[in-house]
Amino acid sequence: MSQQSFQARLYHILEPAQKGDKSSRVFDLLLIALILLNAFAAMMSTVEPFHQRWAVPLYWFEVFSVVVFTVEYLCRVISCVHAPQTRAFRQAPYVKPWQQRIRYLFTPMALIDLLAILPFYLSMLFVIDLRILRLLRLTRLIKLGRYSRSVNLLLTVIRKEARVLFAAVSVLIIVMVLSATGMYYIEQHAQPDAFGSIPAALWWAINTLTTVGYGDVTPVTPLGKLFSGVITILGVGIFALPAGILAARLSELSRVRRDTFRKHVLEVMEDGSLTPHELGRLNQLREALDLDDEQANLLIDLAVENTRQLAGSQGMNFCPHCGNSLVSHPVSKVDDA
């Protein structure tokens, strides 16, 4: 096996498994289990009786985990040159492999992988508070996002709507500062401890705009109560903006993916049938678009029905004796293709 083919195979094993790739699937399951065990160990290590009893096993488990995550990180750096032409790797042909690897080191997931192992090595060189080290170990949970298509879809939506979300958050911050300023001038004399300054009043503004309302800081003057009521109603609408933006974009992206799959189904159904090869291509497209089997089969059923109606209007693809459609569509096997 050549170096290039070895790196390519290594890349496909490290990335989330495609259908039929057992080696990659086994690696994914083992790494997910290791990440979850690390999170459990990090949480239980904060329980002093447990930590005192299992201190030595926990330490060696941490060493083992760091070794595994370090090897994984180095393998990803080595094999990243075989990644598809995503935004991070959309480069000119003359770019060298070492330049691609340097760029990969600064991608979000590469930084998360580095953060998962860096605290351990730093603790060997510098004196670090163990409580901080335990907290940083929990960042390994973020690595699970690589294996969740739902998380990847959400990150895609956030990236596409970054400008709109930034505008919504900017409006929220402005309203928060204005609310704190208003309450400061209204309540500063009645409650100098709680509203003695605008930064102090920001705590009340955050609780009110988020409709959390801890109740530790509340207005006591009539004007302050009226102002607080207005801010509470205003906060309901303002805090709903980011959620509405994300929900709308997620719905739109799901619709686009369904329309894309339906378009390809209609294209392959032009001859009135679905061959096993065509069904395999549709299944690959289904996985790429992150559609479940039920959605894909429903879209294929609709396409078959449209084909049946068209064929019926033209007097084709129907048995002259029983009237059944002659269109072949192994719909129930889309997930087995």
Could you read off the pLDDT of 273-320 as tens digits, one per residue? Answer: 667 777 777 777 776 676 766 777 777 777 767 666 665 555 544 444
- pLDDT 10s digits, 246-268: 888 888 888 888 888 788 777 77
Structure tokens that stand for 301 in this block: 């059923």
For position 331, what pLDDT does the model report?
42
**Domains and their CATH numbers in the chain:** 3-147 (1.20.120.350), 162-250 (1.10.287.70), 269-333 (no CATH)
For position 118, what pLDDT does the model report?
85
pLDDT band at 135, cuts 50/70/90?
Answer: low
Amino acid symbol at 272: G
Q: Which residue has the higher pLDDT, 319 or 169?
A: 169
For position 332, what pLDDT does the model report?
41
Are the beta carbons of 8 and 82 closer than 8 angstroms? yes
- Between helix 293-314 and helix 276-288 the angle, nearest 10°, is 140
- pLDDT 10s digits, 23-51: 888 888 898 899 889 888 888 887 888 88
> Which residues neighbour 60 within 8 Å (Cβ) at sequence distance 6 or greater?
none
d(CA 197, CA 183): 10
20 burial (CB, 10 Å; 0-12 / 13-18 / 19+) is: exposed
Look at residue 68 and tell me whether its pLDDT is greater than 90.
Answer: yes
Percent of the chain with pLDDT over 90: 12
